[in-house]
Amino acid sequence: MEKKKKTFTSTEVKRRYNEKVYSQISFSAPKDLVEEFREICRNIGISQASVFKRFIADFVEKYR
């Protein structure tokens, strides 16, 4: 049986898709606030990104 050669096509396809469909938002916050936020997310088992996605969706809906 021949061993399949590992390719990066799948990763490259996902990267291109993400670049086409998503944008990034970056901001700065005080370190102590960020650490507390990360700890709370870990403790309750939710992703940090999901908090921001929910906030943005709610914000857009409110001010649309």
pLDDT for 34 beyond 80: yes
Residue ranges per domain, the chain?
27-64
Q: At 9, is the pLDDT very low, low, confident or very high (cuts 50, 70, 90)?
A: confident
pLDDT at res. 36:
98
> At 10, which helix (H) or strand (E)?
helix 9-21
Query: Quick count: other Cβ atoms within 10 Å of Cβ 30?
Result: 8
Q: Is the pTM of this model over 0.85?
A: no
Q: Where are the alpha helices (DSSP H) in the chain?
A: 9-21, 31-44, 48-63
In the predicted model, is pLDDT for residue 3 greater than 90?
no
Q: What value does the mean pLDDT of the chain take?
A: 92
